[in-house]
A and B are shown apart, each in its own frame.
Chain A
């Protein structure tokens, strides 16, 4: 089976790349712009991933692990091995990527029908799937980093798909650059670790951590640096700014990358490196995650753009996962990653469906002013788009943490972990506060979204008539993913909707951290288990509170949202304006940087070069002018030319006697002879 695993993984990795290459080179010339190439490639990937998944079930071995490496570069002592790691986490992740990617491919058939760069779009999807699988399969930091950046590029390309729009182009650039900030941290982390360990492979690194070759502050610092990469990719505070802007990309892309898979890569990385994170680093991780969860949820409360709500919700949920890793329950984080991928992708598809239909309606009216994504232009879509409504509602229930849905299980596990962590470390009481606060807000803003979109009266009645349910290619993924948001798929072979216990917990078992002195996985699990019931009760009540508040405000309208907004005053404004992060970055980072760049360039070119470097030239030419003057007027004109001039003058006067008459010459000869004789005689 080992060979099969490697073959399958290789196929899963490279099939999308093949699709990418075909699409980029000949896609445009193929029938239907070659979308079938990409789709068949991704479906094959899905089949292979499912086969691996099925095999995992057959083996049912929590310690299953296959590694294969090959020597990529060899300088004698400096060697780089690239390779695969296939274990249960990998397989689950591969399946998630393949599944969501397949859904996206199919969903896009209609969503991007007639787009100018249709084949390009599919090509980039292929590139993304390839790189994402690369991250998932990596068994070392170098491959991880390589695919990490490639994911960033495919994200750049897809966000910038509609590059004619200035905002899309800006968003793409922002996404890439913000990610790069995190990646620099990641890279520094890699360097620290390589310097200490001398290898990039996880296995070697963990062994060194366990043996104490690397430890203490260095390890903490290395861990935080690596985590910086995750912060960028998973859009954690303060690098969260790019994700909401990334919604400029086509909605299926948002579903695939900016909700389900790519942004989860950060969580995946943190899960992978969990064994080397020291307790200090973990605390840092936990605080970043917790704060992001609360902070993003607070922004989501007031957003009116349907995709922006979902974007901030994603940031918040990713914060949850990071928080979970930080508090030690990293399997819960991974579990939430899995469930979140399903329901969040579904929510994005749902929003895509709504936007698609709004777009068509607006198009029919030749209205190019109205924003098809603004929830204030929607309302009452329940009757018109029943499938979309239903599947979105299911996912909303899941994300809000309502029992019988997947989100409840994973969220509960996280909150339980957080609570138990605070119980044992009371000084970190803020972490559960972050967690539960975010849970409340999540329930509120998600239902706010549902109510504003699907319930009530239409805000734009003239459009309402033209709103239709989306075609099958779009509703299909909605139904599928909606179904997958039900608890049963995660608790099999058990049927207890209130317990996470199931195949997942059997197959993905937390392992001890390799950092000497960290709490053992067993202890963490024990603690979390104790906190399970109180956490569940607490989370149910906060979720209920949030839902009821949303209902009162946006469904019954018995509480005026506007009045509340007025009452909360500056807080509301802060939330609506995303805490002015973009503006402040703009003011305190970009602009000073650009100014500095401009100044340096000016200095370099206009001052340093012109005055200093050219100054040498000027000095030299001044010097040479002086010496030239002396040389010309003194030596040359005076001395050298003087001789010449004298000779010339003499010649000119002597020329007179050069008459050309022979007889004159003879006369001179004679005169000369006489002269000589006379002189001789005297």
Chain B
């Protein structure tokens, strides 16, 4: 059952990601991206990362995706429903990306990975919280500064002149 669910989630993720990339309409891409992100959140669940799945849903879908949709709407006249978009260097890009994918998969497949199976933890939030406040305090604080900087920078950039 869970095996099936896993493959379903994986398929959802990959297919919707393909839509994101190949769709001619930008707004479709955005919607497809929603499913991709949901799919990734599902994969996190399979990877015992319940907290990460929550964060994925909240930040990506609630924050970044909304931001993207806003961006689309701000930069296109919303009345013209068809917000078309075209691609460049499709063939060479596709070839390169495909080649890269082949290389990656053959590399991953041929590598002998270190695997250590541990029991599933009850919950991860507590450990992550402790780690953030102890071992990863400095990156944590730096990330907060970065966010602040990005916030101010973004506001600054998109501010209308005068």
Judge whether B125 is part of the interface by a CB distance below 8 angstroms: no
Contact status of A663 and B88, CB under 8 A, knowing A674-B103, A677-B103: yes
A670 at the interface (CB under 8 A from B): yes
How far does the alpha carbon of A379 sit from the alpha carbon of B88 in the complex, in Å?
Answer: 133
By beta carbon, the residue of chain A nearest B97 is A670
The 8 Å CB contact of A674, one of B88, B89, B93, B100, is: B100
Within 8 A of B (CB), among A646-681: 661, 663-664, 667, 670-671, 673-674, 677-678
The answer to whether B100 touches A664, judged by C-beta atoms less than 8 angstroms apart, is no
Q: Chain A 388-399 against B: per-residue CB contact (8 Å), 1 yes, 0 no?
A: 000000000000
Nearest to B87 among chain A residues (CB) is A663
Q: Does B55 contact A (CB under 8 A)?
A: no
Taking the complex as formed, is B105 at the interface, i.e. its CB lies under 8 A from any CB of chain A? no
Closest 10 CB pairs of A and B: A670-B96, A677-B103, A674-B99, A674-B100, A667-B96, A671-B96, A667-B93, A670-B100, A663-B88, A667-B89
Please report the number of residue pairs spanning A and B whose Cβ atoms sit closer than 8 angstroms: 20
User: Can you give 13 A-B contacts (C-beta < 8 A)?
Assistant: A663-B88, A663-B89, A663-B93, A667-B89, A667-B92, A667-B96, A670-B96, A670-B100, A673-B100, A674-B96, A674-B100, A677-B103, A678-B103
Give Cα distance in the complex from A673 to B97, angstroms: 11
Q: Report A's interface with B, CB cutoff 8 A.
A: 661, 663-664, 667, 670-671, 673-674, 677-678
**Separation of A601 and B152 alpha carbons in the complex (Å):** 89
* Contacts of B25-57 to chain A: CB distance below 8 A: none
Do A664 and B96 touch (CB < 8 A)? Answer: no
Determine the residue in chain A with the shortest Cβ distance to B96.
Answer: A670
Cβ-defined partner of B89 (8 Å) among A664, A677, A678:
A664
Bound-state CA distance A674–B97 (Å) is 10
Nearest-neighbour CB distance to chain B for A378, whole angstroms, equals: 116
Q: What CA separation (Å) do A677 and B107 show in the bound complex? A: 10
**How far is it, in angstroms, between the C-alpha of A667 and the C-alpha of B97 when the chains are bound?**
9
| B103 contacts across to A, CB distance below 8 A | 674, 677-678
Q: State in angstroms the CA–CA spacing of A663 and B86 once bound together.
A: 14
| Residues in B neighbouring A678, C-beta threshold 8 A | 103
Rounded to whole angstroms, the CA-CA distance of A669 and B79 in the bound complex is 39
Taking CB atoms, residues of chain B closer than 8 Å to A667 are 89, 92-93, 96
Complex: A664 Cα to B92 Cα, angstroms: 10
Query: Given the complex, which residues of B lie within 8 Å of A661, measured CB to CB?
Result: 88
Q: How far is the CB of B105 from chain A (nearest CB, A)?
A: 13
Residues in A neighbouring B88, C-beta threshold 8 A: 661, 663
User: With a CB–CB cut-off of 8 A, which chain A residues contact B97?
Assistant: 670
**Residue-by-residue, is B75-94 near A (CB-CB < 8 Å gives 1, otherwise 0)?**
00000000000001100110
**Residues in B neighbouring A677, C-beta threshold 8 A:** 103
Closest-CB distance, A676 to chain B (whole angstroms): 11
Chain A residues contacting B96 (CB-CB under 8 Å) are 667, 670-671, 674
Q: How far is the CB of B107 from chain A (nearest CB, A)?
A: 8
Residue of A nearest to B106 (CB): A681
User: How many angstroms from the CA of A671 to the CA of B92 in the assembled complex?
Assistant: 10
* Contact residues in B for A664 (Cβ distance below 8 Å): 89
Smallest CB separation, A196 vs chain B (Å): 106
What is the CB-to-nearest-CB distance from B145 to chain A, in angstroms, rounded to a whole number?
Answer: 27
Q: Beyond A664-B89, A670-B100, A677-B103, list 7 extra A-B contacts (CB 8 Å).
A: A661-B88, A663-B93, A667-B89, A667-B93, A670-B97, A671-B96, A678-B103
